[in-house]
């Protein structure tokens, strides 16, 4: 679920007034992955969130919005997917309290339903009738919650690096610990105990877990464009305060407000034929766990990114883009065929 990159790395629906300030930016492809067509600051409950759009709403295929992980993460891990804007508008944003968005740091805002309402505020402000919602990690839970709450506005929902249930996630990560070398696994267990060793002992073991399941050593180095993008659009970056409050100190134990979170009951409320699960071969979101979710979503599809971990979008960018591109094109074609038949 939680895209927490080792804590050091970048990893009641209430009325909302949505107001945006739009700026058309000059083209400068040398310094960015892809310069935005427009940027917006959209008023949501609790503050304003930063939104960027590539393409023109109302032109091209059905738009897509990408929902980052965390909680407390940022949109930047989706930057390499802006190439999808050659056929459809691509919308990226930072959730309240992270990245380029406002940081009121009010715990009252850190509720799943408020994050879902945040998405709806963005949709209304941009004038999107229907869109694809692609969520990664924590974002996949928000994508499912949004699809269940607003089916009329959801063309499809992609649940990638899938987190839908804390108990499933914790069970999965603890099973993955068993697959590590015995000494590493023993150290992690000790570090999760009451009398934890010093950080100098725990950090290398946790790093070994991440190297296996969330950022594999063979991942490509960041491109100059990616580095320039982070420098320009990273904002205040990952918000550790939100992560700790909603999740907890490690991937292996949830002590925050999401400790009892479980969205699996929503799976019967969505159209399974419009749900795609995507995981990496070595993902923290274990394939067998996600297969259980697929079984609860009749008609849903599952894609596995070969050689990818939880960070598969960065590790296997071409495969990831192809999966998302093909999925949305097929859904759009199906919708067009239905409309023609009517």
Active site residues: 137, 283, 310
User: Is 296 in contact with 264 (CB distance < 8 Å)?
Assistant: yes
What is the C-alpha separation between 284 and 265, in angstroms, rounded?
22
Q: CA 163 to CA 75: how far, in whole Å?
A: 17
Compute how many other C-beta atoms are within 10 angstroms of the C-beta atom of residue 165.
22
The set of long-range contacts for 34-42, using a CB threshold of 8 Å and a minimum separation of 24, is 34/79, 34/82, 34/83, 34/85, 40/125, 40/126, 42/18, 42/93, 42/121, 42/122, 42/125
Q: Are 148 and 73 in contact (CB under 8 A)?
A: no
Residue 333, classed as helix, strand or coil, is helix
CA atoms within a 13 Å half-sphere pointing along the CA-CB vector of 74: 24
CA atoms within 13 A on the CB side of 317: 15
Name the pairing type of β-strands 47-54 and 90-93.
antiparallel
Residue with tokens 């205040």: 236
Non-local (6+) Cβ contacts of 307 within 8 A are 216, 218, 280, 281, 282, 315, 316
For tokens 């056929």, what's the residue? 87
Q: Which H or E element spans position 123?
A: helix 112-126
- The residues near 225 (Cβ < 8 Å, ≥ 6 apart) are 31, 32, 33
């Amino acid at each position: 679920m939680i895209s927490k990159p080792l804590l050091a790395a970048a990893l009641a629906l209430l009325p909302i007034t949505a107001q945006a300030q739009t700026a058309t930016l000059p083209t400068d492809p040398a310094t960015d992955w892809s310069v935005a067509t427009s940027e917006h600051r959209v008023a949501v409950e609790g503050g304003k969130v930063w939104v960027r759009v590539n393409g023109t709403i109302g032109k091209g295929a059905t738009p897509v919005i990408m929902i980052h992980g965390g909680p407390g993460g940022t949109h930047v891990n989706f930057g390499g997917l802006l190439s999808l804007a050659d056929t459809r508008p691509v919308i990226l944003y930072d959730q309240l309290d992270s990245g380029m968005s406002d940081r009121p740091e009010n715990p009252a805002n850190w509720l799943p339903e408020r994050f879902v309402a945040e998405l709806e505020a963005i949709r209304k402000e941009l004038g999107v009738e229907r869109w694809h919602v692609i969520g990664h990690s924590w974002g996949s839970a928000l994508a499912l919650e949004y699809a269940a709450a607003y089916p009329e506005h959801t063309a499809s929902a992609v649940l990638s690096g899938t987190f839908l249930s804390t108990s499933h996630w914790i069970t999965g990560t603890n099973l993955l610990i068993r697959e590590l070398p015995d000494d590493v696994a023993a150290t992690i267990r000790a570090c999760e105990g009451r009398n934890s060793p010093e950080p100098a002992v725990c950090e290398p073991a946790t790093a070994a877990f991440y190297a296996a399941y969330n950022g594999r050593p063979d991942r490509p180095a960041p491109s100059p464009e990616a580095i320039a993008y982070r420098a320009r659009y990273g904002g205040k970056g990952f918000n550790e305060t939100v992560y700790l409050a909603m999740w907890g100190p490690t991937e292996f134990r949830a002590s925050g407000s999401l400790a009892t979170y479980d969205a699996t009951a929503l799976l019967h409320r969505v159209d399974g034929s419009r749900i795609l699960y995507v995981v990496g071969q070595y993902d923290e979101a274990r394939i067998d766990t996600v297969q259980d979710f697929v079984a609860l979503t009749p008609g849903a599809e599952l894609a596995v990114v070969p050689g990818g971990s939880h960070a598969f979008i960065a590790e296997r960018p071409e495969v990831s883009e192809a999966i998302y591109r093909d999925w949305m094109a097929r859904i759009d074609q199906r919708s067009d065929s239905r409309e023609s038949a009517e």
